[in-house]
Amino acid sequence: MPANTAWPIVLAFGCTLLLGGILLGEIISLLGVVLVLAGCIGWFRQVLPHENAEHVPVEVQPVEIETKRKTVQRFKLPGLHVEPGEIIPTSPLIAGLKGGIAGGIAMVIPVLIYGQIAHGSIWYGVNLLGGAGVADWQNVTPAQINAFHWQWLLIALVIHGVSSLLVGLIYGAMLPMLPSRPILLGGIALPLVWSGLEYASMGLINPALASHVSWPWFVVSQVAYGLVAGWIVSRDENFKRVRNMPFAIRVGLEAPGLMHENHQGEGH
Amino acid sequence: MADQTLPIGGALDITPQKATKQSFFEWLSEWFITVDHKKLGILYISYALVFMLVAGVEALMIRVQLAVPNNDFVSPQLYDRLFTMHGTTMVFLVGMPILFGFANYIVPLQIGARDMAYPRLNAFSFWLTAFGGLLLYYSFIGGFGLYGVGTAPDMGWFAYAPLTEKAFSPGHAPDYWAIALIISGWGTLGTAINIIATTISMRCKGMTLMRMPLFSWLMLVVSGLTLVTITPLTAAQIMLMIDRYLGGHFFDTQAGGSAVMWMHFFWIFGHPEVYVLVLPAFGIASEIIPVFSRKGIFGYAAMVAASVGIGFVSLGVWAHHMFTVGMSTPTTTFFVLSTMLVGIPTGIKIFNWLATIWGGKIVFATPMLFCLAFLFQFLIAGLTGIMLSAAPWDWQLHNSYFVVAHFHYVLVGAIVFNIFAAIYYWFPKATGKMLSETLGKWHFWLFLIGFHLTFDFMHIPGILGMPRHIYTYMPDRGWGIWNFIETIGAFVQAIAVLVFLYNVVISLMKGKEAGNDPWDAWTLEWATPSPPPAYNFATDPVVNSRRPLWDLKHPEDPDWKYE
């Protein structure tokens, strides 16, 4: 074991006096400097060239680790049918990622159509998203919003890509936990909820951006995302298996008796 | 192929402590030069308990002063010092040291290590913390001061600028505050580094991160959070000293400095600091609730994820302390939403604790009673926190006694309750003696009643407009009855603490022998003797699940088959 040493307390006291001297006088700081130097040298000598250790005699004896509570009760959940050897499926996160990518692509289509119809430029929606991350956007002209800007495109791609993937992950994790009708919930209800949230908050967070958004088309693009992402997640085999589990399992309850023994885990 | 948790069944050490004859001074000097994590843990906890008594006396004096209208029990100058020192002491000299003390004692034992990664740094960190606290309190006697009550800090625990500038605070009061906290802050940083290094690199064989006990997990998160948050405070305190001694103008509003910048610096430390204090309390609950519910923790992975999530989100909420400063609407909106976001991982934790209790065979021992009260009180604290996170509500109640009641619900209702739970839970391990259950229950019920008398009723004068830091008030405000009840509650809490202290002393002298594992628990610290030898484990443990002692106690149904 590392040997006891006084040098840490000496160094700590030195540091305190060094700074405390600002209040208590130069002499105190000077004493602090001396103690800090002594503490550092003493501490270094504790660990260099070899750590100062002391040998502690060890006597190993058997010790009983036991309990009086021998009986183990297990939870029984109605509707849980797991075959021996069957591993309980996990949430379809990969399908969520795929759904996020596909939904992200689907979402772009109404945005481009709206830009072309309403403003004569497919870059309108792209620039709205990308421009939101650019300084001085408040003074932007309509011509600038309709023009192609590679910096804004890059920013829009990053924002859109990351958020599509993250929402897709949430779909993969959440849809199996929700009541049935994943297309209705994931495709329509959830996009409506977050569209409402964005409608309520965007005017506060970024008023310049909010003034350029067409909210009906915004909702259309979000629903396009939700429908495609929800459809892809709901087609996944894992999704179907997870949905047949009791709710406690779907939300991730870990308990012996609920989870089947994992024989593959032996020998860790 | 191992099919059990430990390498050789029952080969854990029970080496009897070699009782060598020591003089009192040898015994005493051993405590000063020790680098043993367990002794340093006990030093941290003892130091914090002493300061808890000091801060408690300060709180009682504050409560007596406010008990009736137009009171002059203490002078206004001393009153300012009392509330400043009470807040500073409870956060920096009680909350953090006691929780880091538990981490020091418990984490190496829980992860099957023989000591912390840097034992000498550990000792250095403790002594820095201790000397920082002593320097802070030296301020009471270190100078005559302006009003004959020393030069103790008197500007509130958050030391807002420009009150701390030379023009408004001549003398040394802010200097004692800043320098003492810089010194103890260095100690805190050292301990945080040590805990991170220990949990990352010294876990025993088989203890993957996802098998690490939740208390150790929480301390890992807290230590990371500490590294990020203490540094801006230290930086701001150094800037303040530059202002006061070298003619700087960082916070000097009369010379182009910014008082709001101090607020940002302080609260970017100050709000995560709440989580630095409450996350270890969560860790304590996550150890105690399963053992006394006789069930494994519900949703271990979600608990870990929620802890890390709280750590991250807590770094982005600090300006909710500044809604009344006049921030822009987008900034206010961001901090409203980010503050509300904390409710999600925190809610996950509360649901998981409830789900752990649900269907369990609950043992209402003293540690569990404190944890159950914590669950209820923390829920209330969370709800008033959500109320205050809404900027319009905060505009009405900012710096009122409603806010004081809210954060005392967190700091006392959650953190202090769980600190007591932890003391009752791990005292047998550290001393080999059980604390008296009878006295423990007296302590619990008195403290519970006192807490609710004080802090439930404190919300009301807050809503009625009573501001914090107020010295006294007129009788016609309608605050008198509520303040009187609060003061009675404070004294009931004080009686409860005296019962607790008596329990500690009497149990150390005559307490029942604890044995290795008095609670029939499941983590590794209970596989060592009580108290553990200097080296903790004679042979390095090997674990295969999150509950290694469950595996040994139930070889027919070990956890590792299900994880």
Burial tier of A39 (Cβ tally within 10 Å: 0-12, 13-18, 19+): buried
Q: Tell me the CATH number at B463.
A: 1.20.210.10
Residue among B32, B183, B333 whose CB faces A16 most closely: B183
Query: Given an 8 Å threshold on Cβ–Cβ distance, is B127 in contact with A9?
Result: yes
The shortest C-alpha distance from A117 to chain B (Å) reads 32
Which residues span the domain enclosing B483?
38-561
Query: Given an 8 Å threshold on Cβ–Cβ distance, is B298 in contact with A46?
Result: no
Residue among B535, B544, B562 whose CB faces A261 most closely: B562
- A59 interaction partners in chain B (CB closer than 8 Å): 13, 15-16, 538
Whether A38 and A126 share a structural domain: no
Rounded to an integer, the average pLDDT of B532-558 is: 89
A135 touching B, CB under 8 A? no
A161 versus A268: which is more confidently predicted?
A161
Query: Given an 8 Å threshold on Cβ–Cβ distance, is A16 in contact with B132?
Result: yes
* The predicted structure's pLDDT at residue B428: 96
Q: Say which residue the tokens 């519970």 belong to.
A: B448
Residues sharing a CB contact under 8 Å with residue B286, sequence separation 6 or more, in sequence order: B214, B215, B218, B297, B303, B353
* The predicted structure's pLDDT at residue A49: 87
Residue A74 lies in a domain: no
Residue among A12, A252, A261 whose CB faces B127 most closely: A12
Residue A135 lies in a domain: yes
Whether A106 and A235 share a structural domain: yes
Express each pLDDT in B387-412 by its tens digit: 999 888 899 999 999 999 999 999 99
Task: Determine the straight-line distance between the first and last CA of chain A, rounded to whole angstroms.
Answer: 30
Query: Given an 8 Å threshold on Cβ–Cβ distance, is B3 in contact with A266?
Result: yes
Express each pLDDT in B365-379 by its tens digit: 999 999 999 999 999
Whether A38 and A165 share a structural domain: no
* The predicted structure's pLDDT at residue B502: 97
- B293 interaction partners in chain A (CB closer than 8 Å): none
* The predicted structure's pLDDT at residue A136: 55
Residue A77 lies in a domain: no
CB pairs under 8 A between A and B: 176
Query: Given an 8 Å threshold on Cβ–Cβ distance, is B539 in contact with A60?
Result: yes
This model of the complex carries an ipTM of: 0.90
Cβ–Cβ < 8 Å for B433, B512 = yes
With cut-offs at 50, 70 and 90, classify the pLDDT of residue B81: very high
Cβ–Cβ < 8 Å for B79, B65 = yes
> B149 is written with which tokens?
């009550």
Residue B228 lies in a domain: yes
B514 versus A132: which is more confidently predicted?
B514
Whether A147 and A21 share a structural domain: no
Rounded to an integer, the average pLDDT of A123-129 is: 88
**Number of structural domains, chain A?**
2
Least confident of A55-64, B115-124, B216-225, B254-263: A55-64
Cβ–Cβ < 8 Å for A155, A130 = yes
- Return d(Cα B458, Cα B284) in angstroms, integer: 27
A55 touching B, CB under 8 A? no
Residues sharing a CB contact under 8 Å with residue B88, sequence separation 6 or more, in sequence order: B136, B153, B157, B177, B181
Q: Say which residue the tokens 């710096």 belong to.
A: B399
The shortest C-alpha distance from B354 to chain A (Å) reads 13
A2 touching B, CB under 8 A? yes
Query: Given an 8 Å threshold on Cβ–Cβ distance, is A22 in contact with B179?
Result: yes
* The predicted structure's pLDDT at residue B444: 97
Residue among A1, A64, A252 whose CB faces B534 most closely: A1
- Return d(Cα B342, Cα B338) in angstroms, integer: 7
Q: Which residue of B has its CA nearest to A265?
A: B561
Residue A73 lies in a domain: no
Taking the alpha carbons of B115, B120, B121, B125 in that order, is the dihedral positive or negative? positive
Residue A205 lies in a domain: yes
Residue among A19, A58, A259 whose CB faces B179 most closely: A19
Burial tier of B159 (Cβ tally within 10 Å: 0-12, 13-18, 19+): buried
Residue B3 lies in a domain: no
pLDDT for A267 beyond 50: no
Query: Given an 8 Å threshold on Cβ–Cβ distance, is A255 in contact with B123?
Result: no
Identity at B238, one-letter amino acid code: I
Residue B382 lies in a domain: yes
Whether A152 and A32 share a structural domain: no
- Return d(Cα B556, Cα B375) in angstroms, integer: 34
Whether A227 and A99 share a structural domain: yes
The shortest C-alpha distance from B543 to chain A (Å) reads 9
Whether A35 and A102 share a structural domain: no
Residue B1 lies in a domain: no
The shortest C-alpha distance from A39 to chain B (Å) reads 10
B522 versus A82: which is more confidently predicted?
B522
Query: Given an 8 Å threshold on Cβ–Cβ distance, is A65 in contact with B296?
Result: no
The widest CA-to-CA distance across chain B, in whole angstroms, is 78
pLDDT for A264 beyond 80: no
- A23 interaction partners in chain B (CB closer than 8 Å): 142, 172, 175-176, 179
Residue A176 lies in a domain: yes
- B333 interaction partners in chain A (CB closer than 8 Å): 201, 204-205
With cut-offs at 50, 70 and 90, classify the pLDDT of residue B211: very high
Query: Given an 8 Å threshold on Cβ–Cβ distance, is B172 in contact with A23?
Result: yes
With cut-offs at 50, 70 and 90, classify the pLDDT of residue B221: very high
B421 versus B301: which is more confidently predicted?
B421
Whether A25 and A105 share a structural domain: no
Cβ–Cβ < 8 Å for B205, B129 = no
Express each pLDDT in A180-226 by its tens digit: 777 788 888 889 998 998 888 777 767 777 888 899 999 999 999 99
Whether A147 and A242 share a structural domain: yes
Best of A51, A60, A138 to mutate (most B CBs within 10 Å, chain B): A60
How many CA atoms does the CB half-sphere of A115 hold within 13 Å?
Answer: 21
Residue A188 lies in a domain: yes
Query: Given an 8 Å threshold on Cβ–Cβ distance, is A1 in contact with B36?
Result: yes
Query: For residue B400, which phi and psi values (nearest 5 degrees)?
Result: -100, 175
pLDDT for B233 beyond 50: yes
Which residues span the domain enclosing A162?
93-250
Q: Which residue of B has its CA nearest to A257?
A: B562
**Number of structural domains, chain B?**
1
Q: Which residue of B has its CA nearest to A55?
A: B535
A265 touching B, CB under 8 A? yes
